[in-house]
Structures are given as C-alpha cells and as structure tokens.
Copies of this chain bind each other. A is one copy, B any other.
Amino acid sequence: MNTFFTVGPAQIHPAYEAIYMEALRNNVGSISHRSAAFRAIYKHTDQELKQLLNIPQDYAIFFAGSATEIWERIILNTVKEHSFHFVNGDFAKKFYDFAKKLGRKPQAQIVDNGATFDFDKVTIPADVELICTTQNETSNGTALSKQQLATLKQRYPNALLCTDIVSSVPLQDVDFTNIDMAFFSVQKAMAMPAGLGVWIVAPSVLQRFKQLQHDNVQVGAHHTLDAYFKNYENWETPSTPNVMAIYCLGKIAALYNQIGVQQLREQALAKKAYLKSELKNIAYLSPFLQGSNESLTVLVYNTTSSVSHIVDQLKEQGIIIGKGYGSLKDSQIRIANFPALNMNDCERLVAALKACS
C-alpha cells in the first residue's frame, strides 16, 4: 500500500478499516434513517464532533454529499442577493463562482495566491448578508487565524460569517462563537474515504433562512435548511444519507477525542516543524509561504525541479504527494500534515525528497 501525503483524498486512518467492518457487521449499512439505531449514530457523531471542535451545543450539524454541495446549499439557503467572498485561492474562487451561477450578486476581494487580508481595514457593503472566508485554502496552503475571523465578525456582526475548514479540521483551532457556518469533507484530516460533507450551522442561520422563505427566495428543493432543522430535532435527516460514513466519522472523532485535540495539534506542529527544518536543506524546494498565514495542515513548496519528476520518483517508493493546484501545478508541490501520518512517515518522505535527483 502507498502512503498518501496528498491533501485530500488523503491517507486513510489506520483504525478506519476495523471501524467500517464493525459497522457492516452491525448492520449499519442496512438500517433505516428513521430507526432508533440511526438516531443513536447521528447523535453520537454530533456529540463527538462538538467535543472535538468545541462547537456550542445549540449549533446543528448536517450531512450532505460533499463540501462542494454545501457551497451551493449555503448560498441558496442564506443569501437573497449579496454575499461577499474573500478570495485567496482557487477553492474560495469556486465558492464565489457558485454564488454567481445561482443568480445572486456576490462581491469579492480577490488577492494573489499566498496573500492575505487586512480585516481591520477592509470595507464590506452594509447590505452584505453572508461573508465567505476560507480558513484553510487547500489549493495553496494559506490560512486565516482565529483572531482574523474574530475581527471580521466584530466589525460586521449583522452579516453571517462562514468559513471553509475542509482541510484544517480538526487541527486548526476555530472559535465557533464567532462563526455562523463552517463546513468540511471527511477525506482530509478526518482520514476517511470521500462521500460525506459536514455542515456546521449556528441558530442564527435558521432565522436568516426563514427571512428568505418569507421573501419567496428560491432556496432549492433538496437539503434545504427547514428540512435539515426539522429532522435534526429528532436526530434524523431529510433523506437517506451516507449512514456508514456518518457512523465512521463519529468513531474517528471519538478516537481523536481520546487522544485529545490539543495533543493532535501538538503532534501536527511537531511534524510541521520537522518537515520545514528538513526541507529547508533541499536545494530544489523553497517554502511558498512564510509566517502567520502559513497553514498547519497543507504545506506548499515552490520547486525549481520538474514537479512531475518529483511526484513520479516518490511514487516509485510508494509515497504519493500532491502537485500544486490549477495554475500552480507545474511549479509547486503540496504536502498534507494530517493525523493519519506519523513522524516515521514524515521521515520516509524527507528521505525520499532528499534522494530525488
């Protein structure tokens, strides 16, 4: 089996296989989403995630097919006309594009890959209903801090604040009391195969949704917030979800809670420090970012060597890394720093990168 340092789909957690098998043998693949057995699973996953991410108890957690689907649901369900997007990479840009495709009138502040925002100074129009940020830009490894997001919320308390934590959850500390919505998919640091999107929603969001309904805004038909909230009261879902993935996510979150999220974050910091210190000595690599906007989980390097050559040479040793995203695919490599990979894996990666000729 290969070792995946890709930023998602990524390395599967060593415990995942046993968790999935146990679920299958306990009929989790066959139960109804209106059964007591399913309600217990939903509640368990909800509670473990709330503990892991320090999410307030009055927030709701909903499941969709993917984080990409959630982009669409967020715009449809919370924006009548004006969303505002902080775009510092390709995924933030796609979210912005979704708002345009859905017939809203989004605005954006667009900066170059790797640049950040000065939230103390930026001006957002007063009619903006939703502010969209990307806590961790998977495409280029640019991160926003808890403090930056808090500044934004304090300056614009009347707009809903949403952030993309797809590739940082659970390693980046997010203060949900300043966030109205966040979302992620499970094939990143949660170390599962793809097929489930997770949408974390504050009570404030339901009020906004009701206003949209009152104003006869087109909110879509599937996975609308009224159906989500109504079913959530009873630990159910609007239609049959990916029950196996919901079960496994709860178990992985429980495993992470046993270790402790602080311990996981310290391990991630230690691995990042090791990788940075070793990769500094590799002549063909230079870090794309330096300083506070550098992601903990997605490490991006510029390279003077051929990206394809590096990727191919590592693959021969069973190590899979990512190319840069989009326009950066021929000049960057991306390395995931996720919990399913330990220090030994990082040492193997460093040795392979050093041997790369």
> Residues of A at under 8 Å CB distance from B?
1-2, 4, 6, 8-12, 16-17, 20-21, 24-33, 64-66, 68-69, 71-72, 75, 97-99, 101-103, 185, 187, 192-196, 218-224, 238-245, 320
Asked if residues A30 and B17 are in contact (CB atoms below 8 Å), the reply is no
The reply to whether A101 and B68 contact each other, CB–CB distance below 8 Å, is: no
23 A-B pairs whose Cβ atoms sit less than 8 Å apart in the complex: A1-B27, A4-B30, A8-B240, A9-B30, A9-B31, A9-B32, A9-B33, A9-B240, A9-B243, A12-B24, A12-B29, A16-B29, A20-B24, A24-B193, A65-B66, A65-B195, A65-B242, A68-B239, A69-B222, A101-B219, A194-B240, A195-B195, A195-B245
Given that A21-B17, A98-B221, A102-B218 are contacting pairs, would A66 and B239 also be in contact in the complex, using a CB cutoff of 8 Å? yes
Whether A29 touches B9, Cβ cut-off 8 Å, given contacts A66-B239, A218-B218, A240-B187, is: yes
**Contact residues in B for A32 (Cβ distance below 8 Å):** 6, 9
Minimum CB–CB distance for A36 against chain B, Å = 12
Give the shortest distance, in Å, between A236 (CB) and chain B (any CB).
14
Chain B contacts of A16 at CB under 8 A?
A: 24, 29
Q: How far is the CA of A153 from the CA of B125 in the complex (A)?
A: 52
Nearest-Cβ distance from residue A116 to partner chain B, whole angstroms: 26
Alpha-carbon distance A318/B211, docked complex (angstroms) = 48
CA distance A71 to B221 in the complex (A): 9
Q: Contact: B195 with A320, CB < 8 Å?
A: no
Which residues of chain B have C-beta atoms less than 8 A from A223's C-beta?
A: 69
**Interface pair B30/A66, CB less than 8 Å apart:** no
Query: Across the interface, do A28 and B72 meet the contact criterion of CB distance under 8 Å?
Result: no
How near does chain B come to A103, taking the closest CB pair, in angstroms? 5
Of the candidates B2, B20, B66, B187, which one forms a contact with A20 in the assembled complex, judged by CB atoms under 8 Å apart?
A: B20
With both chains docked as a complex, state the minimum distance between the C-beta of A336 and any C-beta of chain B, in angstroms: 11
Contact yes or no, A75 B11, CB < 8 A = no
Known interface pairs A102-B220, A222-B71, A241-B194; A10-B24 also in contact (CB < 8 Å): no
**CB contact between A194 and one of B25, B222, B242 (< 8 Å): that residue:** B242
User: How far is A65 from B196 in the complex, measured between Cα atoms in Å?
Assistant: 9
Residues of B within 8 A of A222 (CB): 68-69, 71-72, 98
